[in-house]
Amino acid sequence: MGSSRDYQAEGIVLRHGVIGERDKIVTLFTRDEGKFSAVARGARRPGSSLGPSVEMLTYGRFQCVRRRALDLITQATILDSFSNLKTDLWRMSCGLYACELVDSSTVDGAPNRPLFEFLLEALMEIDRAGCDDTVLRFFELRLLDHIGFRPSLGCCVSCGASLRPVENSLSAAMGGALCPDCARSCPDAKALSVSALKVLRFWLECRLDVARRVKMETALSCELEEHVYRFVRNVLQRDIKSRAWLVRLRSEALLTSTSEASTIPRWFEAE
């Protein structure tokens, strides 16, 4: 039996940094303890048994010791290393984007089990079947839901009227959809097509593997991207660094499965 300071946590490595020549500081998002950072001693040493388990985008079981300052990770077992995801630049970038979104929208020590399961499921799905704009939009939208900022799409958020099947609007500042009358007096309102409203409502109710079956025209995809990211930006009050990288990758059409994840983008290196 370990001491009362020992505990075990199953979690996903969101990011890591370096301490000294041999150690790493690892930020985990765990099922039961929420997010926390801990020191993985010796993890940077060649051949360290701890090293592979504390790589980013790894799901593992971590044996930890509570300390007054940062806790210590003493042992770890990899539960899923998401190997397909890590050997494909696009998939890996999407996975890192998902992790950065979760990291940016959570605080230390506040467990959010539904969000944890959601992130895990998303990484498994990206690892299994790849990632596209639909998966990214779905992830952003449902992340908002899991952190308490579910867009309100049932009725007009201003007057409460039911939304008719016409062009309505969406306001990130108001937290949801607006009828045409109310949209006129809301500077933040952006046009919301009937199709976009339908897709958003559908995504708020379904699972990722079902959501990704929605095939859409580029115009609708762009509209959804703009709407959902405005919500994300409004809630987090900051840009997500890795998003610019994703946009660049997409525009350079590096989306083939043969891309090699040989270099880690700069935004993702240890601070």
Burial readout 235-249 (b: 16 or more C-beta within 10 A, e: otherwise): bbeeebebbebbeeb
**Using CB under 5 A, which of the segments 55-63, 128-136, 149-157, 217-225 binds Zn ion?**
149-157
- Helix (H), strand (E) at residue 23: strand 23-30
**Using CB under 5 A, which of the segments 15-23, 47-55, 148-156, 235-243 binds Zn ion?**
148-156
Say which amino acid occupies 230.
R
**Token pair in block for residue 118:** 């959601």
* Helices and strands counted in the chain (H then E): 9, 8
**Token pair in block for residue 5:** 């300071």
**Using CB under 5 A, which of the segments 43-51, 70-78, 109-117, 157-165 binds Zn ion?**
157-165
Q: Does 164 bind Zn ion (CB under 5 A)?
A: no
**Using CB under 5 A, which of the segments 82-90, 101-109, 135-143, 155-163 binds Zn ion?**
155-163
Q: Does 159 bind Zn ion (CB under 5 A)?
A: yes
**Token pair in block for residue 242:** 């890795």
x/- track of binding to Zn ion for residues 172-211 (CB under 5 A): -------x--x-----------------------------
x/- track of binding to Zn ion for residues 97-136 (CB under 5 A): ----------------------------------------
CA 81 → CA 53, 100, 189, distances in Å? 8, 18, 42
CA dihedral over 145, 220, 189, 248, signed as positive or negative:
positive
Q: Are 176 and 170 in contact (CB under 8 A)?
A: yes
Least Å distance between CB 179 and Zn ion? 3
Nearer to Zn ion, 96 or 157 (CB): 157
Phi/psi of residue 160, each to 5°? 85, 0
Nearer to Zn ion, 161 or 244 (CB): 161
DSSP label at 165?
S
Nearer to Zn ion, 102 or 183 (CB): 183
Nearer to Zn ion, 27 or 169 (CB): 169
Least Å distance between CB 161 and Zn ion? 5
Nearer to Zn ion, 161 or 270 (CB): 161
Nearer to Zn ion, 73 or 182 (CB): 182
Measured distance CA(11)–CA(37) in Å, rounded:
11
Count of residues binding Zn ion (CB under 5 A)? 6
Measured distance CA(31)–CA(114) in Å, rounded:
9
Nearer to Zn ion, 53 or 158 (CB): 158
Which residues are at the interface with Zn ion (CB under 5 A)? 156, 158-159, 161, 179, 182
